[in-house]
Each structure stands twice: as structure tokens, then as C-alpha cells.
Amino acid sequence: MLLIRCPYCEEERPELEFRNAGEAHIARSANIAGETDDDFEKFFFIRSNPKGIIYERWRHMHGCARFFNAVRDTVTDKFVMTYKAGEPKPSKLPGVAK
Amino acid sequence: MKKYSVFAIAREAMRGHKGWEEQWSSPEPKKEYDVIIVGAGGHGLATAYYLATVHGITNVAVLEKGWLGGGNTGRNTTIIRSNYLYDESAGIYDHALKLWDGLSQELNYNVMYSARGVMMLAHNVHDIQVLKRHVHANRLNGIDNEWLSPEQAKEFCPPLNTSKDARYPVVGAALQRRGGTARHDAVAWGYARGASARGVHIIQNCEVTGVKRAANGAVMGVDTTRGFIGAKKVGVVAAGHSSVIMNMAGVRMPLESYPLQALVSEPVKPVVPCVVMSNTVHAYISQSDKGELVIGAGTDQYVSYSQTGGLHILQHTLDAICEMFPIFTRMKMLRSWGGIVDVTPDRSPILAKTPVPGLYVNCGWGTGGFKATPGSGHVFAHTIAKDDPHPINAPFTIERFRTGRLIDEAAAAAVAH
């Protein structure tokens, strides 16, 4: 089981308290009904599914219940960092090359 | 290829078993092939086999980064069934089921397909409605599926706890008698042997690191850890890594990869005569011919390539197994493991041409690809050979996520994902 640091509670808590909420930083169009089929497919269905660093959303369901973002390596499942929702995608990752 | 038979066994017994030949050869890769298949699992090897046998295309290489059948082919719980809800799914899964029947004879290799029946349990009114809907839909599609009372379910699988005060009471069940199990390794080995005998090159320890495209966008071949290998047609059959390979060709996929775990118990005498699945409490169980209880769990909730997964997932499944089969509460579990499954948004596979000319993909089988192995290989070989899908896999396009013509087995595949 993963240990996940909630950036709001500022504590590492067991994965059971959390729900994964999919890839992060996918912006929903303000005019969703006006999206082309291509753009809607990209927004709704297409995913990066990276082997390596992933940016993903989690929700601290059985804690503060808030959404936040995390950076994780999908090969080792180790978390690089977590940060609050609305904060920009980190450009520099601690302890990760390039 | 020397034929396996009772006479071959007798002959070899007489001469100290010195005459058995290698089941498939391990040739050096050539510079160019007509077709390259990426991934030597069951689906990839079946594709190569049917390219050779049905379409006469034998200048084929199957590239495998690890060892043959070492991915999800060797990690699944070997359940075979075709009781899916929608017509498209019924078409492809039952095509496979028909091929399972007779596959051992076709391959001259015992894949140990055993139609021992797959029984899906209903624990509440909603389950009854869902499973009866499946029974009716299946029968309309000519697929056997029948409704059992709790007493009939108990008769079909005696160790099942059907008492009224059970934690998960059994209020009925759907039974597909043609469903069952097969020996997963033998499926990969049998197809490999058959393909190799017809001239297909199976190249293990050869990881694809790039997909080369010409100026007009068409596929030229693949870069591998053993150098560049050319081909005008490349079929990607890489399961959990399919999106990684497709990214190399510049195609982003509607896929996410999750760990899926399974475990086996110590071997015991025959006690579970069929496959039992419970979707509501998420547990499924069968018994291998070695005597091990084979138990499948659900996926983890996060994208991962780690081939492990959380302990609590296994615990959840074993909790359910122990409630449904109280006689197993003292069983020891021998091994557990994880595989990486590629899941599409509608939980149906993609077997199709891609936006890249000469590039084909067979992926997205999610948590249940093993059962489809023969059918998948058969229609995918057709797709590659004709550059046009077989009618059976024609609905399983990538474009369905743009057009909205989904095959939404997400709620209907009869298993939790």
C-alpha cells in the first residue's frame, strides 16, 4: 500500500484514505459543448499513461476530502512530491534527473 | 516439426528421450521482414501463427523484450468465457471460444482447454437483474448461458456457501457451460511452435525502442536493442506497454495501465469443479490441474508499470473468497503476483488499423484478454494481411472514442474493473 502525503493535512497517510482521480493538468474547456470531436476525444479519452513520471490527481477521501496533485514514478510507484490543486505543474522535480 | 503423439512418447521412452526437438528455434533477426509483431504473448504469437497458416505470410518476426509468454499470458487466471453483453463483444469472444474448442488438435499441442463451466453468482436483486439480462442477451446471440437457482448453484459447485445467513448470500447464478480454463503457458508455447515450424522468427530478449516512419508517414520498421529491423507492416500487441510503443510512433492512445494481481494456494485434491466468479464482492476462483486454487483480484486504482500492487487488494479478494467458501479459510497461499493491464475507457479492446499506414494495434484487453487469445490472433492476422479489419473486429477501432460509437462493456463485462 502506498503512503501518500496530503499537502493540506501535511501528513503521510495510507493509500486506503485516498482515491486516485486520474491524470492531472487536463483542462476542461469552458465551452465544452462547442468542442470539436477531436478535441473532446483528447480531453475525455486520450491519456499519457507514461512509463515513468506521471502527474496525477488524488482525493483525500477519508481525510480532508480535498483534491490535490501528485508526481509519481509509475515504474517504482514512489512519490516524488505532492502539491495543492490549482498550483502550477512543477517544472523542477526534487531528486529527478533532467 | 515432429508431430506429438502417443507413438512419439513410446518412441522416445525407448531411446531415453533423446529425440525431442526444440519447440521453436531462436534465429538471429534478419534485416527485413514482411510483418513484425511486437510482443510474444499469446495474442502476438497467435497472430503470427494465423498469418502463416491462414494467409500464407511466413516472413514474420515476433519481437519480445523478455521471454516468450512471460507477460500477462503467464500471469492471468486462465478463465475462458464469452458471456459478454453487447453484440460486438459476443461476436469476438465467442469467435475465440469456438477456436478454443479444437485448438489442441489444431496446434498438435495440449492446451488443456477444459469446458468446466463458468458460474457467476448473484447476491442481491440487482445482481439477479443484471445477470438475467446477460443470460437473455447471450442466448439471443446464440451463446449458451443459463440461470441457476441457489440449490442448482450449490449442486454445480459443492464447496460454495449457500446458507441463508451467509455474509454474501447466493440468490442465483448464471452458468456458461462452455466456459472454463486452459493451460496459459501451453497456449503461448503451442502457437510459438506452430508459427516457428512455418518459418516465423521468434526473437526473445529483443526490446523495441523506437518505431521508424518514412517521410510519407508510413512505417519502415522498428529500432530494437538488437538493431534496426525493417518491415512495412508492424503489429503492436504489447498489452500493458501498448501505449508506450504507440507513443514511439507518435500515436497517443485512449489507454491506462494498471496492476492486476492474482494468487494461488498450496495444491490440494480436486475440490472446485468449475470457475466461480462474483462481481459484486469481486472474487473469482478456480482450481488448476495441479490442484492449486487460482484466485484473481481486482486492479489497483492508479496507473503503474510496477507489476506489483497493494496488499489490501489481495486481502479484499481473500476476504470475499473466505466468506463464499468457508472451507478455504485455513488454506495457505503459495504465490501472488501482478501483471500490467491496459484498460480502455469503454473496457473493450482495440484491434484495428491506426492513423499510421502499416501500423496495426491489438490492445486494451484490460483484465480479460486471455480468453480471447485465439480469436484475437485470428482476426488481427486478417487485419494485417488484408490491411482491412475482419467483420468481427471491425467495430473495435480507435476512432470509436472520437465518434462515440463505444462498446461499453464497462458496466456490462460482468466483472469489476
Q: Give the pLDDT of residue B22.
A: 95
CA–CA distance, A18 with A60 (Å, rounded to integer): 5
The overall average pLDDT reported for chain B is 96
CA–CA distance, A69 with A23 (Å, rounded to integer): 9
CB contact under 8 A, A45 and B345: yes
Q: What proportion of chain B, given as a percentage, has pLDDT over 90?
A: 96
A94 inside domain = no
Closest CA to A79 of A31, A9, A30, A13: A13
Residues of B with CB under 8 A from a CB of A: 241, 243-244, 252-257, 301-306, 308, 310-312, 342, 345, 401-404
CB B417 within 8 A of CB B367: yes
- CA angle B56–B358–B86, rounded 5-degree value: 80
Residues of B in contact with A21 (CB under 8 A): none
CB contact under 8 A, A49 and B402: no
A90 inside domain = no
- Candidates A2, A20, A45, A53: best to mutate against B (most CBs of B within 10 A) is A45
- Quote the minimal CA–CA distance from A38 to chain B in Å: 6
Task: Give me the number of domains chain A comprises.
Answer: 1
Q: Where does chain A show beta strands of DSSP type E?
A: 3-6, 11-14, 19-23, 53-59, 67-73, 79-84
A97 inside domain = no
Q: Give the pLDDT of residue B415.
A: 52
CA–CA distance, A64 with B177 (Å, rounded to integer): 49
State yes or no: pLDDT of B416 exceeds 90. no
Residue B257, amino acid: S
Q: Give the pLDDT of residue B230.
A: 98
CB A73 within 8 A of CB A31: no
CB contact under 8 A, A48 and B252: yes
Lookup: cell for A78: 514512489
Q: Give the pLDDT of residue B104.
A: 98
A91 inside domain = no
- CA angle B401–B76–B256, rounded 5-degree value: 30
Q: Give the pLDDT of residue A97.
A: 62
Three-state secondary structure call for residue B224? strand
Residues of B in contact with A62 (CB under 8 A): none
pLDDT-based confidence at B60, cuts 50/70/90?
A: very high
**Domains of chain B by range and CATH?**
26-82+84-109+184-254+346-403 (3.50.50.60), 118-177+257-343 (3.30.9.10)
Closest CA to B406 of B397, B417, B415: B397
Three-state secondary structure call for residue B382? helix
- The CATH number for A29's domain is 3.30.2270.10
State yes or no: pLDDT of B413 exceeds 70. no
State yes or no: pLDDT of B410 exceeds 90. no
Q: Give the pLDDT of residue A92.
A: 85
What does pTM read for this prediction?
0.96
pLDDT-based confidence at B46, cuts 50/70/90?
A: very high
Render pLDDT for A46-65 as a digit per residue (tens, 0 to 9). Answer: 999 999 999 999 999 999 99
Where in the sequence is the domain holding A11, given as residue range(s)? 3-84
* pLDDT per 10-residue tile (average), chain A, 98 residues: 96 97 95 95 97 98 98 97 96 75
Three-state secondary structure call for residue A70? strand
Render pLDDT for B282-312 as a digit per residue (tens, 0 to 9). Answer: 889 999 999 999 999 999 999 999 999 999 9
State yes or no: pLDDT of B250 exceeds 80. yes
A74 inside domain = yes
CB contact under 8 A, B305 and A75: yes
Lookup: cell for B274: 468449475
Residue B6 CB-half CA count within 13 A: 0
CA–CA distance, B407 with B400 (Å, rounded to integer): 8
* CB-closest option in B302, B342, B402 to A38: B402
Lookup: cell for B18: 533423446
CB B314 within 8 A of CB B263: yes
Residues of A with CB under 8 A from a CB of B: 1-2, 15-16, 19-20, 22-23, 37-38, 40-42, 44-51, 54, 56, 72, 74-77
Residues of B in contact with A50 (CB under 8 A): 303
CB contact under 8 A, A51 and B241: yes
Q: Give the pLDDT of residue B69.
A: 95
CB contact under 8 A, B311 and A46: no
Residues of A in contact with B308 (CB under 8 A): 77
Q: Give the pLDDT of residue B404.
A: 93
Lookup: cell for B238: 504489447
Task: Give whole-number Cα distances, B134 to B87, B147, B323, B348, in Å.
Answer: 11, 10, 25, 16
* CB-closest option in A37, A47, A72 to B255: A47
Place of cell 453468482: B121
CA–CA distance, B156 with B160 (Å, rounded to integer): 9
CB contact under 8 A, A56 and B403: no
Place of cell 521453436: B24
In chain B, which residue's Cα lies nearest the Cα of A73?
B304
Q: Give the pLDDT of residue B414.
A: 46
**DSSP conformation class of B240:** G
CB B208 within 8 A of CB B245: yes
**Nearest-10 crossing angle of helices B42-53, B184-197:** 30
pLDDT-based confidence at B417, cuts 50/70/90?
A: very low
pLDDT-based confidence at B411, cuts 50/70/90?
A: low
CA–CA distance, B82 with B96 (Å, rounded to integer): 8
Q: What proportion of chain B, given as a percentage, has pLDDT over 70?
A: 98
Residues of A in contact with B345 (CB under 8 A): 44-45
Render pLDDT for B26-43 as a digit per residue (tens, 0 to 9). Answer: 999 999 999 999 999 999
CB B81 within 8 A of CB B179: yes
